[in-house]
Chain A
Amino acid sequence: MNWIKVLGKFTLSTLRGLGEAGVFLIKGFSWAFIPPLKFHRFIKQIQFIGVNSTLIVVLTGAFTGMVLGIQGYYSLNKFGAEALLGPAVALSLIRELGPVISALMITGRAGSALTAEIGIMRISEQIDALEVMALNPFRYLVVPNFLAGIISFPLLASIFNVIGIYGGYLVGVKLLGVSAGGYFGEMRSFVDMQDIFDGLYKSLSFGVIMTWICCYKGYNAGYGAEGVSKATTQAVVTSSVLILVWDYFLTSVMF
């Protein structure tokens, strides 16, 4: 009967963890609507999550678009439909790869650092110090990150899409000989505004997921360097998995 005990303990602790994470999200959002906003910190986090992730997003966007250009050409060429390479690349990026890959890249770059920063603040009693000063740690540490994530993710996904489309153009048009007019012209016929909006909604929700999980894990980091490193790993893995799972649900509902 020992395994029943272990299973019960695991289930209870998982449920407790989920409940605590849910409460954390609700608290974070509630404080986002209660002024004053820590504007300086908010701008700093936009810089940290958004601006500083631009290079990595541009790089991954370019190579993703280029690979899509090669693979798309290879597949479409079999049906003699290589003229549709432009819409194929654009739709893949705008509806799916742009939001998802950019979110995973930002999570790897900024999410891990976010968890580590808040985790170190937790173990070095800086969060306790805020509380003792009768200041709300959510207002200083969580709300600016939530808002910065919500703003940065869609913008970075848009940059990813644009660069990716030009990466596909470079390979498809300049290297493989697809007509330039066809590449962009067909895109106009096949890509709707709704596709663009759906992609942006996705990346906005990914922004919430990343900042929520990374702040939560950092805020509840265990003791010492080991606690912070564990929290950082868990934050990146959980955020990435949740982004992919949530992406599937959203895609099922939206398309």
Chain B
Amino acid sequence: MMIDVINLHKSFNGFPVLKGISLQVEKGGILALIGKSGYGKSVFLKHIVGLLKGDQGKVLINGEDIGTSKGTALEKLRKKFGFLFQGGALFDSLNIFDNVAFPLREKTRMKETEIRDKVFFELEQVGLQGSENKYPAEISGGMKKRAAFARSLILDPEIMLFDEPTTGLDPIIANTIHTLIKNTHERLTFTGIIVTHEIPKIFSIVQKVAMLNDGVIIAQGTPQEIQASPHPLVQQFIAGGIEIA
């Protein structure tokens, strides 16, 4: 297993958010994590990359526990990751080109000409050619997400984490982002987790779906299994999703 989460618990100020989550994602597979807002999906994602440490349980990345890793061991594990944050998390003080080039300049010894070629390639992949000199404050939400996507892909990560990649975007841009994720997965075959509300659209991209509710996984399986799940909350969520869509 590329990602193996075992009995993960997390509380904030005595309030339990994750109450024993266990999940696995196979190498090259993509899992969609669905559930109501404010129920700890983003918190869970931050545990996967070691930004938060669980109170109990383990998060194994390729067999190594990221929750107890420190220093160079943690750095080595984090090099495997790309993370698309909910708001993009682009650096305000850098333009789009420098944002996307940032990981290459900091983590590799590539020449500036090579960096330029790679950045332009990734920007073209996400349809942002011609916007490289703009600053994050000067572009739309969808462009920010795409720029952040390009930045998260620039080091060809083995694992991609997406925190609500289409929230706040219009349906056309949302579809573009979904297509981008699908195409990029075909190109790089990363292992991924997508936190999303976009059902049933996301079902065509992922191999596995899990639903988080009140700190526990109440259902998981293939998209078909989830759609056929008898669990009332799952059915309510899917029906709501279809209504909205």
B86 within 8 A of A: yes
Distance between Cα atoms of A54 and B119 in the complex (Å): 39
Q: Which residues of A contact B103 (CB under 8 A)?
A: 133
As a 0/1 sequence over residues 76 to 106 of chain B, the CB contacts with chain A under 8 angstroms (1 = contact) are 1011011101110111100000000011001
Distance between Cα atoms of A125 and B83 in the complex (Å): 11
Q: A125-B87, A131-B51, A133-B103 are in contact. Are A120 and B92 (CB under 8 A)?
A: yes
Return the contact of A132 from the options B83, B87, B92, B106 (Cβ within 8 A): B83
A55 within 8 A of B: no
How many residues on B have C-beta within 8 angstroms of the other chain's C-beta atoms? 22
A6 within 8 A of B: no
Give B196 Cβ to nearest chain A Cβ, in Å: 17
Q: A131-B51, A135-B106 are in contact. Are A125 and B91 (CB under 8 A)?
A: no
Distance between Cα atoms of A134 and B82 in the complex (Å): 10
Q: Which residues of A contact B46 (CB under 8 A)?
A: 128
- Select from chain B the residue with minimum beta-carbon distance to A38: B106
Q: Which residues of B contact A132 (CB under 8 A)?
A: 49, 51, 78, 81-83
How many residues on A have C-beta within 8 angstroms of the other chain's C-beta atoms? 12
Distance between Cα atoms of A120 and B90 in the complex (Å): 12
B225 within 8 A of A: no
Cβ–Cβ contact A134 & B78, under 8 A: yes
Cβ–Cβ contact B78 & A131, under 8 A: yes
Give A101 Cβ to nearest chain B Cβ, in Å: 30
Distance between Cα atoms of A46 and B51 in the complex (Å): 31
As a 0/1 sequence over residues 99 to 128 of chain B, the CB contacts with chain A under 8 angstroms (1 = contact) are 000110011000000000000000000000
B214 within 8 A of A: no
Q: Which residues of B contact A128 (CB under 8 A)?
A: 46, 51, 83, 85, 89
B138 within 8 A of A: no
Distance between Cα atoms of A126 and B106 in the complex (Å): 15
Distance between Cα atoms of A128 and B87 in the complex (Å): 12
Distance between Cα atoms of A121 and B75 in the complex (Å): 21
Per the 8 Å Cβ criterion, residues 123-173 of A in contact with B are: 124-126, 128-129, 131-135
Judged by DSSP, the binding face of A is: helix
Give B215 Cβ to nearest chain A Cβ, in Å: 20
Return the contact of A126 from the options B51, B78, B92 (Cβ within 8 A): B92
Give A196 Cβ to nearest chain B Cβ, in Å: 37
Distance between Cα atoms of A120 and B91 in the complex (Å): 10
Distance between Cα atoms of A56 and B103 in the complex (Å): 38
Distance between Cα atoms of A204 and B222 in the complex (Å): 62
Distance between Cα atoms of A121 and B92 in the complex (Å): 8
Distance between Cα atoms of A242 and B46 in the complex (Å): 36
- Select from chain B the residue with minimum beta-carbon distance to A133: B103
Q: A128-B46, A128-B51 are in contact. Are A133 and B89 (CB under 8 A)?
A: no
Give A43 Cβ to nearest chain B Cβ, in Å: 14
Give A122 Cβ to nearest chain B Cβ, in Å: 11
Cβ–Cβ contact A129 & B75, under 8 A: no
Q: Which residues of A contact B85 (CB under 8 A)?
A: 125, 128-129
Cβ–Cβ contact B89 & A124, under 8 A: yes
Instruction: A128-B46, A135-B107 are known; give 20 further A-B pairs, CB within 8 A.
Output: A121-B92, A124-B87, A124-B92, A125-B86, A125-B89, A126-B89, A128-B83, A129-B83, A129-B89, A131-B51, A131-B78, A132-B78, A132-B81, A132-B82, A132-B83, A133-B102, A134-B74, A134-B78, A134-B79, A135-B106
Residues of A at the B interface (CB closer than 8 Å) are 120-121, 124-126, 128-129, 131-135
Q: Please list 23 pairs of residues, one from A and one from B, whose beta carbons are closer than 8 Å in the complex, sorted by A's number.
A: A124-B87, A124-B89, A125-B89, A126-B91, A128-B46, A128-B51, A128-B89, A129-B83, A131-B78, A132-B49, A132-B51, A132-B81, A132-B82, A132-B83, A133-B78, A133-B103, A133-B106, A134-B74, A134-B76, A134-B78, A134-B79, A134-B107, A135-B106
